[in-house]
C-alpha cells in the first residue's frame, strides 16, 4: 500500500454485530437459528406508514435534500412530542434531525471534544460509542454500571475520573446492553453533577417509547437552562421499525445545534428525506400502533423471564428492559466470547458476549429478546440450559 491509514481507526475493533453473525456459519446443530444478537424489530412498519412513504416517493415530495437540520414540520412535531412526554419545554430550534441515533452521537461528540480530550462512558457501554470515541482520538474513561444490587451507574463516581480535559458523560436509558431503566432521580443527580463539573450530559433515549407513557422518564426538559448541560439523543428506528431509514434526532441548546448543523452538512447534508417523512407520519398518526408494540415487547420480556426461570435458571438475569436482557452466564471457567461462540456453533443461538461491551464484562451475555416471538422463548432458554462448553 502506498498510502497510510488513520492509526486511530486501525486500532478500533471490527464491528461486533458483523463479526458475531459469522459464528452461525459453523452451526453444527441443524437447529433453526435464533438470533438474539442485534436489536431489530421483528415486525414491519405500519402499513399506512409504508403507503404514505411510497406516495411521497411517487409524487416527488421526498426526493430532494431537506434543510440541514431536518424538515421544519418534523422538528416542530418532535419538539411538541418531547415537551408533552417530559412535561418540559423543547422548541423547534432545539431539534436537529440526524441519520439515526448513531449520527446524533457522532455529531455531539465531534462538537464537544477534540483529540486528547476524554469522555466518560458507563460500563457496560454501547460498543459503537467506544468505537467512535477511539476513532476521534478521544480517551474513553469508565464508571461502573453493574453493582451487586442493581445495574445503575453512580453520579458520585464521575469526580474520580473527571479532569480538565473531560467533556461529557454518556448514559443510555433504557440501557443498551443491560436493559436497565434509569430512574428520574438518578438522572437528576447526574445533571446536577455535570453542572458542577462543567461537562455535558449526553443521554441516549432510543428505547424510551417502550416505557409506560403514564409518567415522564425524567424531568430534565423542565429544568431552567437545560440546554446548557443536557443533550438528548433519540431514534425513530425501533419504535416505528425504521432501522434502514436512518432517522434520529439530537435535542440541545443553541451552541450545540449550531455546531451540529455544520457537522451534518459535511457528513450527510441531511438525514434521508424518506426517513423524515416516515418519522413525521408516525408522530402524527401512530400513537395507538406504538402502544401496541410497547405491550408486545413487555409480553416478550415476561415470556423470556418465565422461560429462563424454567429451563436456564443457571443464567442469572442481572437486568432487563426495552429490547435487552443482560445475563450472568454460569460457565465461570470460560470467557463470554467462548460461551457465545459455542451457543451459536452448537445450538444455533446467537448472543453477544459481555466482553464486547467494555472492561470486566466477561461473565455476561447480552440478549436482544425483542427479536424473538413469545413462541420461541422456551426453545431459546432450553438451548442455553443444555449448553456446556467444551473443555
Chain segment 76-100, per-residue pLDDT in tens: 999 999 999 999 999 999 999 999 9
pLDDT tens across 160-172, in order? 999 999 999 999 9
Q: Which CATH class is domain 14-44+289-386?
A: alpha beta
Average pLDDT, the chain: 96
Question: Which pLDDT band, with edges at 50, 70 and 90, does 24 fall under?
Answer: confident
Give DSSP secondary structure letters for 153-207. Answer: --GGGHHHH--TTEEEEEEESS-TTT-PPPPHHHHHHHHHHHHHHT-EEEEE-TT
Of the candidates 197, 166, 201, 177, which has an alpha carbon nearest to the alpha carbon of residue 319? 177
Q: Which CATH class is domain 47-285?
A: alpha beta
**CA dist., res. 81 & res. 72, Å (int):** 14
Distances (CA, A) of 26 to 130, 303, 337, 371: 29, 29, 15, 21
pLDDT at 391: 66
Q: For the chain, what's the residue count?
A: 391
pLDDT tens across 194-248, in order? 999 999 999 999 999 999 999 999 999 999 999 999 999 999 999 999 999 999 9
Question: Which pLDDT band, with edges at 50, 70 and 90, does 327 fall under?
Answer: very high
Residues 216 and 87 sit within 8 Å (Cβ to Cβ): yes
Question: Which pLDDT band, with edges at 50, 70 and 90, does 390 fall under?
Answer: confident
Residues 81 and 239 sit within 8 Å (Cβ to Cβ): no
**CA dist., res. 388 & res. 391, Å (int):** 9
Domains 14-44+289-386 and 47-285 share a fold: no
Of the candidates 303, 126, 291, which has an alpha carbon nearest to the alpha carbon of residue 210? 291
User: What DSSP state is assigned to residue 8?
Assistant: H
**CA dist., res. 86 & res. 91, Å (int):** 13
**CA dist., res. 118 & res. 163, Å (int):** 9
Q: What is the pLDDT averaged over residues 40-55?
A: 94
25-28 long-range contacts (CB < 8 A, ≥24 apart) are 26/344, 26/345, 27/344, 27/345, 27/346, 27/348, 28/345, 28/346
| CB contact set of 300 (below 8 Å; sequence gap of 6+) | 369, 370, 372, 373, 374, 377
Cell numbers 463479526 correspond to what residue?
A: 19
Q: Where are the domains of the chain?
A: 14-44+289-386, 47-285
**CA dist., res. 178 & res. 323, Å (int):** 9
Q: What is the pLDDT averaged over residues 367-385?
A: 94
**CA dist., res. 389 & res. 382, Å (int):** 15
Q: What is the CA radius of gyration of the chain?
A: 21
The cell numbers describing 228, all together, are 446548557
Q: Is 154 helix (H, G, I), strand (E, B) or coil?
A: coil
Amino acid at each position: 500500500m502506498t498510502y497510510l491509514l488513520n492509526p486511530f481507526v486501525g486500532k478500533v475493533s471490527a464491528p461486533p454485530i458483523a463479526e458475531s453473525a459469522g459464528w452461525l456459519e459453523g452451526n453444527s446443530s441443524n437447529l433453526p437459528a435464533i438470533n438474539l444478537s442485534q436489536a431489530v424489530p421483528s415486525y414491519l412498519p405500519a402499513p399506512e406508514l409504508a403507503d404514505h412513504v411510497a406516495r411521497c416517493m411517487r409524487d416527488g415530495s421526498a426526493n430532494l435534500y431537506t434543510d440541514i437540520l431536518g424538515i421544519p414540520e418534523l422538528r416542530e412535531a418532535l419538539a411538541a412530542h418531547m415537551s408533552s412526554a417530559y412535561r418540559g419545554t423543547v422548541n423547534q430550534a432545539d431539534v436537529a434531525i440526524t441519520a439515526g441515533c448513531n449520527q446524533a452521537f457522532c455529531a455531539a461528540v465531534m462538537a464537544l471534544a477534540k483529540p486528547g480530550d476524554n469522555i466518560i462512558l458507563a460500563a457496560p457501554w454501547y460498543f459503537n460509542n467506544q468505537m467512535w470515541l477511539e476513532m476521534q482520538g478521544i480517551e474513553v474513561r469508565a464508571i461502573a454500571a453493574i453493582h451487586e444490587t442493581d445495574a445503575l451507574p453512580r453520579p458520585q463516581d464521575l469526580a474520580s475520573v473527571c479532569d480538565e480535559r473531560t467533556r461529557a458523560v454518556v448514559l443510555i436509558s433504557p440501557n443498551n446492553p443491560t436493559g436497565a431503566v434509569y430512574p428520574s432521580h438518578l438522572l437528576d443527580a447526574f445533571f446536577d453533577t455535570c453542572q458542577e463539573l462543567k461537562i455535558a450530559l449526553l443521554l441516549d433515549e432510543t428505547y424510551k417509547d417502550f416505557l409506560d407513557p403514564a409518567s415522564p422518564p425524567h424531568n430534565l426538559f423542565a429544568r431552567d437552562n437545560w440546554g446548557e448541560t443536557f443533550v438528548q439523543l433519540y431514534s425513530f428506528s425501533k419504535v416505528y421499525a425504521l432501522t434502514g431509514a436512518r432517522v434520529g434526532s439530537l435535542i440541545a441548546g443553541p451552541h450545540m445545534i449550531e455546531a451540529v448543523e455544520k457537522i451534518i452538512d459535511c457528513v450527510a447534508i441531511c438525514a434521508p428525506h424518506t426517513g423524515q417523512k416516515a418519522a413525521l407520519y408516525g408522530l402524527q398518526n401512530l400513537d395507538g400502533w406504538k402502544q401496541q408494540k410497547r405491550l408486545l415487547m413487555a409480553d416478550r420480556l415476561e415470556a423470556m423471564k418465565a422461560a429462563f426461570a424454567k429451563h436456564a435458571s443457571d443464567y442469572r438475569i442481572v437486568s432487563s428492559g426495552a429490547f435487552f436482557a443482560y445475563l450472568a452466564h454460569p460457565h465461570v471457567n470460560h470467557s463470554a466470547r467462548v460461551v457465545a461462540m459455542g451457543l451459536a456453533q452448537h445450538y444455533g443461538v446467537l448472543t453477544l458476549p459481555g466482553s464486547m461491551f467494555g472492561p470486566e464484562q466477561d461473565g455476561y451475555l447480552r440478549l436482544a429478546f425483542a427479536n424473538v416471538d413469545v413462541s420461541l422463548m422456551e426453545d431459546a432458554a432450553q438451548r442455553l440450559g443444555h449448553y456446556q462448553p467444551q473443555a
